[in-house]
Structures are given as C-alpha cells and as structure tokens.
Chain A
Amino acid sequence: MSVEIDTRPIWIILALKSLRPLFFLLLAVLFWYFINMPSPAGLTPAGQNAIAVFLLCLVLWVSNAVPLAITSIFAIVLVPLLGILTKKETYALFGNEAVFFILGAFILAGAVMHSGLSNRIALNIIGKFGGSPRRLLLSVFLLAAVLSFFMSEHAVAAMLFPMLLELSKSLKLRPGRSNYGKFLFLALAWGCVIGGVATFLGGARVPLAMGILKETTGATIGFLEYTVAVLPLVVILLAVGFALLMILYPIDVAGVENAGEVVEKRLKGLGKMSFGEYSVGIILLLTIIGWISMGRTLGLAAVALSSVVVLFVLGIVRWKDIEEYVNWGIILMYGGAIILGSALDKSGAAAWIINGVIGRWSGSPWTVFAIVSLLTIFLTEAMSHAAVIAVLLPVVIGISGKMSVDPSIMTYSVATPAGLAFILPMSTPANALAVSSNYITVRDMAKGGLIMVIVSWVLFNLMAAFYWPLIGIGRLR
C-alpha cells in the first residue's frame, strides 16, 4: 500500500471536497438549461443537444473530474437519449476502424513487451552505443524516440524508466543536482514525446484523429503518408532537442563505465534470445510492412488484428499475458470521442458553429492552420492528447469544409501537435515518469519544455508551408 496524506488544514480539504458535488450540480443545471433553452436560429434541436453534450464532455475532459473513459461513456449514453443519433447509429460508431486499430496496437505492443524483445533491444542498443557519457545520452534519446515509432510512447517510457534509474544509481548521480541525471531523464521524456508523433503507433491519438476524419468526411490518411509528412519534423526536433539539452545541462560526469556493467548484467540475465522474441519480432516486422503496403486497401485495423490472430494461433502469447497491456479505458474513450464528433457533424451542430461563430474570425487558411496548431500544442499540456483531438478536430474539419481546404491537412494541424507536450509532467506519462525520478524538477522540465514547444510549433508550420507541397499534400495559402 502506498499512501499520501493531505496535510492541509481540514477545513480547506473539506471545502475542496465539497466543491466536487457543487461542480457536478452546477454542470447538471447548466446542461439542463442548454438543452431546454430556445434553439438559436439555424440550429436544429438535435444540434443544440449535440452542442450541449459536447460542452459537457469538454468540461469533464478538461477538468478530469471523472476518468476520461467515463466521460466518453456518458457521451455514448446521452447522444441517443437526447435524440441526436439513433441508438443503432450511436453504438455502430463504436465499431469504428480506429478503435479496433488501437486494440490491435495495444495487443501487439503487449506481445513485444511480454516477450522481452523490447527490453533486449533497449539493452543492446545502450550497451553497444553508450560507450561515452555523450553517446549514452544520445543512445537513450534516440532509443526512446525510435521505439516510440513502433509502440506507445507510454509503454516505452515505462519500459526504459527502471533501467535509467538503475543506470543513474550506478553512476552515483545526485537527484536534483546532477546535470547528467537531468539530461538522462529529459532525454527519455523528450525522446518518447518526439518519437511518439512519427507514426500511427506512438500513441492512439493519431488513429483517433483518422477515425474522426473518416467518419465525418470519408477521407483517410495512410500509415506511410502520415509518417512521410511528419518524419522530417521528428528528425529536426530530435536534433534540436538534443542540442538544447547539451546547452542546458552540460555533461558533468567523466565516464559511464559503471552503467556499462549494469547493462551487461541485465543482458546476461535475459539469456539467449527466445523463440517467442524471434516470433514476435518477425510478426511485428510483417505488420509494419502490411501497414505500409496494404494499409489503404485492407485497412490498418485489419492488418493489426490479423497479426494479433496469428500471435494467438501460433501460441506465441496467451490472453492472460496480454490482458494487462490493453488499456480498455483508452479504447472506451476513443469510441465515445468518435461518437461525439459524428453527433456534432450529423446533427448540423458543427456546421452551425462554423457558420455562426468561427467563420467570422477565420482569415486565410494559413492563419487558421497556425492558430489551430498553436491552440492544440498548448491545450495538450493541460488536457489529455486524445481529449484535445476529440474537442478540436470535429470543429476544425468543419472549418476546412467552409474554407475549401482539404480536411486531411487540417487533421494534421491537430493530430501532430496534440502529441508534442514538453512542458508539464501531467501532460503525458513519459514526462510524469521523468519528474518522478527526482532527478529533474517540474521547473527543469518547464524551462526546456517551453523552448521546445515554441520551436516545435514554428517548425511544424514551416514544414506545412514548404515541405508538404513538395510531397503532394495540399498547399495552404
């Protein structure tokens, strides 16, 4: 049992606790008011209800007053109950391809971690390339990033974290004081964050964005297409990130021989590469090839789930091995977010918002793209990445329709920046883990993180303006 005792004066705790029921009561009253007030001109009653549900979910997602998945379940209940969509339509949306792609990705990542393959890859890379203090840092940074191309950044951070703690102890780094310790854990966090936006696999947010795009417009973005569009940004950010860390935290250790011993000891403990590791590695490789070559025709989910079936048919993993790696909360959250996006679209609420509110201030598509990406990149520091997508994307896709801009491009403006959270520990588990090491403080993270956020936003917009037209992604004017 690990407990934390709130030592604030009891009256403060009591006051704060009583805020919660008051908050829900106020929310219920406001919600009731919204759905019962006369409909504004041009908005259908169903659209009005959809906006009310959207606002309710927005508040709950932002405040985190209940778990994100529960907010989504609430949306799933309210949408048919208020007559926005029929029950059949609502629940059918939960069967969206993105939801099943995420399920497949969780199972594949679980298989990789359970087999020990990911751990072996990490140890080998650190062991081979981490010979000097600088090379060790670079290895950790790139390893976190590259692994996040193929599996959830959260899983990568959780996998590497204990190893880095052990390395830090073996190097006798002083928590909170050692520059090398700060560098090491920021390299982990930033590596995961930057690498996590490179493909569909780094986090479930990109598939969610694709799911919303497909549901509302029918358009899709392929696995390879997305990666080609985003990879240069990832490469530049990795270079900038490493350089920035070198400036902020100059290396203050002479050698890393002790770390090598730790890695060697762990590798010895792993023994020979097992049949399971080989099998999972081959299946993962084939899956990635499948996503690249057949993603558009078969669908990403079909490829992922086929691989999952193969894993079980060949007896490489058992369900109980995998169960703990499947984050059902995220899957429920995504289902609800897709339903909400569709409800806003099909009820005409999204169009009404765009025509009546956002349409007035939108200037050129470029301005909208820049503002949306800026809004996303800052919102994602305080909100769940997926919640940012669920809140912003339906509206942004609507705007793109009004401005005659390819909605796929506008999807990028939310999907990619939504993963670039560098400033706060609560923004993503990779950052939270890094701060929990005690080697870095929230202030350390925020100091470099703010620079990275600004650099990321500028680079992302420059890339959209100059690189995307070169690879055939629609031009923004």
Chain B
Amino acid sequence: MKKNYLDNPGSLKIDLMLRGTRIDDPVVKAWACGASGVDIMLPQNTLVNIPCSEMFTEESPYVIKKSGDGYIITDGTGTVPVSLVPKPKYYSLKTSTGVPFSKIGVFHGSYTVITPSPRCDFFNRGIECRYCAGNFDVRGVENQVYSVEEVLETVAAVLKEGASGIIYLSTGFSPGPDGGIEFLKPYIKAIKKRHNCLVAVETLPPKEDRWIDETYALGADSVLYNLEIFDKELFEFLCPGREKLIGRKRYMDALEHAAKIFPNGTVASHLIVGLEPPGSTCMGIDFLTGIGVVPILPIYRPSTDRALRIGPLTTEIIIPVYKHLYKKVKINKINFKWVRDLSMVTTPLEVRALVDVNEGAKNSIIENFYKSKIGLKTAWGLSTLRRKLRVKDSRDPSDSSGRE
C-alpha cells in the first residue's frame, strides 16, 4: 500500500530526499539549474534540498508546481504548500580576487559550508571512501586553496546578508597528527577575530586529544568527526583510508573526548543511512548518544560517477531509524537544538514531528529566539564566555617565575 507522507514535514523531507522530485515550473527549474538540488521550505519551517536532476528523480511521485502566488508539492493524491528558498544574494558576488562567493561558501540553511581546500590525501593514496562524491577530490585541484582573505570576504558577505548564522569549515584528510586543524587554524582565528559568528569545524580525528582541546580553544563552537559507518567490517571495506590511517576506535575516542570538552549538543558525527543495515545505524546512534554526541543522519543516494552501487533504502525502513535517533537523543539529554535547519540532512529536531505531532508543530520561544539575529548574537556571546571560562593556559612546569 502506498504511503502518504504529505501530512508530516519530517517524513516528507525524508521521502523527498530519497526519491527526489520532478519540476513543473520554469522558475524552479531555473533555480535548480547547475545546483545539487532545489532548496524548498516545507511546512513548519522544514528546509529540504530535494534532488531533481538525477535519473531516479524521473520516477519520483512528487512534482513541484506553481499554485497561485506560491508553490505546492503533490504526489498525485494530495498537495502541500511549500515555498522556494531564494538563492542567497551573495551567490552573485565575487571576492576581490575574482572568485565567485558561491564557489567558496555553499549555503545549507543555518550553516554556510566553506571548504578552503578540496584536498583529501585519501585520493592521492587510492584509499578514498568508496561512496565519496562530496567536496573532496584532489585530482587536478592541488593548488586550489582559498586564502584566508577570500574566506573572510565570503563570511562577511554571508553574515551581511544574514544568509546563515553559522560558518561550517571543513577539510579533507591530510597527513599529520592534527587531523587538519592546523590547516584550518588561520581561518578559524581570522573569522573569530573579525566576526561575531559561530563556527563549526569538520576535520578528521587528530591523533592526540590535545588537538581537540586546541580546536575548542581556537574558537570552534562545534566539531564534527564523521564516523559515517558504524559497522566494523563495512567501515573497513568502505572507508579504507580512514581505517588504515586513523582507525575506527580513534574516531570513537576522539568523539568521546570532544563531547567532554565542547558544550552539550555541539559535537556531532554523520552516520550515513543506507550504507549499512538500519540495525547497525541504530547501534551507532546508541553508541554516539551514549557518549554525548549528536548523530546526524544523511541519506545515501548512489551517484552515477561512483563505482559503489548500493540500492537505497525506503522511507518505511528509514523512518524508524530517525525515530530511534530522536528518542535516544532525548533519553541521553543531548541538546539537539544546535544541529537544526539543514537542507541536506534530517535533524533530530525535525524528527520530533514524527514521534510527537503536537510537539513537532510548535517551536518553543527559546528555539525561535535562537533563530533570530539577536538570538544568534546571544548564542555567540554565551559560547565565547563559556570558552573564556573554560580555556586555561597550560604553563611550562619549569617556569619558576614567582616561585622561590
């Protein structure tokens, strides 16, 4: 029996991300042209990036249509009013060096993702993750590193427009003990020095915990070490580089340490739904939430230019995984309000509507406050104050000044 997900924005988001949509409107088509999908706002302010150009979307039951002044999504049985998220204005601007801002900073809702260098040494060694179709591929792009100034100009444009309140810096694998934080250090420091905004950092787990401490001390407000796959054997098979040069255990240890250092709810890790059995993903959720980490569950869609072909799971199978996520996050009292309003993944906050419809429909005053400009400033202020209180200078024990 065909299920209807139109009534619940949480499940609709998941279904749309899995099956994509067809587009029956020239404006929306134009929007999606050249982009990785179309950003649509579903009811209850649920933001989603819907695939629309891939082959599988041709068989999607969903269509985006014009309806009066706005838009609707229909599956043939019903409709739901939606709105097209305007492209950020900064996408049409360039840095002083002539680089389009859209190349440096990619808008994902509450976050703007900046990857200063697409370098990931796993590719150089032929041990890249088998599913990787993301930002990282070093072949032919060795010298493509955006300067600190270029990144700062982009951040300034993002913040001026108010497109996102959080800047998400990411980097691929590089040899060295720091996991990539040394590379991101000048960017984090410069952004924190010039702008009052929150910064999330995605790197590989460093070899020693002191780098995690330093990540926090530098000004990162949130950190992500993406485990991606919880199942041990599948992790070894699908992520040979991560397994060989970092190790699954180091991911877990690093996340556990980070959860002790960073504020509740600001340490997260991706578990890709669809790359392993749902039961295994649930075990990953149990483990991560048990150590105070927020699991973020992106949905795997096979890409045409990658060798790995795993058939996608269905929404019926995936929804219980998301429900499990929400319950575990609640049980472990993890603050999940930091990870919100992301177009590419379904967040625990959005899943709330699947578990409790009444809860999902209403946003608390505090949630609404933190979405506002003043709320973001407050979050930044509190985060800075917390860091000021927590970070201590570690003095050299041989320093005898003052002792005699």
Report which A residues bind B (CB closer than 8 A): 1-7, 10, 13-14, 17, 64, 67-69, 152, 154, 157-158, 161, 203-205, 327, 329-330, 333, 384-386, 428-429, 432-433, 436
Query: Which residues of B have CB within 8 Å of A203?
Result: 404
Query: Which residues of B have CB within 8 Å of A3?
Result: 210, 213-214, 217, 391-394
- B143: interface (CB < 8 Å): no
Query: Which residues of A have CB within 8 Å of B261?
Result: 5, 7
- B403: interface (CB < 8 Å): yes
Query: Which residues of A have CB within 8 Å of B400?
Result: 152, 154, 158, 327, 330, 429
12 A-B pairs with CB atoms under 8 Å apart are A3-B210, A4-B394, A5-B261, A5-B390, A14-B389, A67-B402, A158-B400, A203-B404, A204-B404, A329-B401, A330-B402, A429-B399
CA distance A285 to B334 in the complex (A): 67
Give min CB distance, B222 to chain A, whole Å: 15
Q: Which residue of B lies closest to A383 (CB)?
A: B403
- B249: interface (CB < 8 Å): no
Ranked 8 nearest A-B pairs via Cβ: A154-B400, A3-B217, A158-B398, A436-B397, A2-B394, A429-B400, A386-B404, A4-B394
Do B214 and A429 have beta carbons less than 8 Å apart? no
Q: Which residue of A lies closest to B262 (CB)?
A: A5
Total residues of chain B contacting the partner, CB 8 A:
22
B175-219 contact mask (Cβ, 8 Å, vs A): 1 or 0 = 000000000000000000000000000000000001001101100
CA distance A152 to B398 in the complex (A): 12
Query: Which residues of B have CB within 8 Å of A205?
Result: 404
CA distance A436 to B214 in the complex (A): 20
CA distance A3 to B392 in the complex (A): 6
Query: Which residues of B have CB within 8 Å of A10?
Result: 386, 389-390
| Contact status of A5 and B403, CB under 8 A, knowing A10-B386, A432-B397, A433-B397 | no
Give min CB distance, A210 to chain B, whole Å: 14
Do A384 and B402 have beta carbons less than 8 Å apart? yes
Q: Is the interface of A mostly helix, strand, loop or mixed?
A: helix
Query: Which residues of B have CB within 8 Å of A428?
Result: 403
Query: Which residues of B have CB within 8 Å of A333?
Result: 402, 404
Do B398 and A4 have beta carbons less than 8 Å apart? no
Query: Which residues of B have CB within 8 Å of A433?
Result: 397-398
Within 8 A of A (CB), among B143-187: none
Q: Which residue of B lies closest to A71 (CB)?
A: B402
Query: Which residues of A have CB within 8 Å of B404?
Result: 68, 154, 203-205, 327, 330, 333, 384-386
Query: Which residues of B have CB within 8 Å of A384?
Result: 402-404
B369-392 contact mask (Cβ, 8 Å, vs A): 1 or 0 = 000000000000000001001111
Q: Is the interface of B mostly helix, strand, loop or mixed?
A: mixed
| Contact status of A429 and B397, CB under 8 A, knowing A3-B213, A69-B402 | yes
Give min CB distance, B233 to chain A, whole Å: 34
Do B391 and A5 have beta carbons less than 8 Å apart? yes
Interchain CB contact (< 8 A) of B214 among A1, A6, A204, A385:
A1
A-B residue pair count with CB separations less than 8 angstroms:
86
Report which B residues bind A (CB closer than 8 A): 210, 213-214, 216-217, 260-261, 386, 389-394, 397-404
Q: Which residue of A lies closest to B263 (CB)?
A: A10
Query: Which residues of B have CB within 8 Å of A67?
Result: 401-402
Interchain CB contact (< 8 A) of B403 among A6, A154, A436:
A154
Query: Which residues of A have CB within 8 Å of B216?
Result: 5
Query: Which residues of A have CB within 8 Å of B391?
Result: 3-6
Q: Taking each of B394, B402, B403, B404, which has the highest tally of chain A beta carbons within 10 Å of its own beta carbon? A: B404
Interchain CB contact (< 8 A) of A329 among B217, B386, B402:
B402
| Contact status of A6 and B217, CB under 8 A, knowing A384-B403, A385-B404 | no
Query: Which residues of A have CB within 8 Å of B217?
Result: 1, 3, 5
Given A10-B389, A333-B402, A429-B403, 13 other A-B residues pairs in contact with their CB atoms under 8 A = A1-B214, A3-B217, A3-B394, A6-B389, A7-B390, A64-B402, A69-B401, A154-B400, A157-B398, A204-B404, A329-B401, A385-B403, A385-B404
Q: Which residue of B lies closest to A70 (CB)?
A: B402
Give min CB distance, B259 to chain A, whole Å: 10
Query: Which residues of A have CB within 8 Å of B399?
Result: 429
Give min CB distance, B184 to chain A, whole Å: 14
Q: Which residue of B lies closest to A102 (CB)?
A: B404
Query: Which residues of B have CB within 8 Å of A158?
Result: 398, 400
Q: Which residue of A lies closest to B261 (CB)?
A: A5
Q: Taking each of B210, B390, B394, which has the highest tally of chain A beta carbons within 10 Å of its own beta carbon? A: B390
| Contact status of A7 and B389, CB under 8 A, knowing A2-B210, A385-B404 | no
Query: Which residues of A have CB within 8 Å of B401?
Result: 67, 69, 327, 329-330
Q: Which residue of B lies closest to A154 (CB)?
A: B400
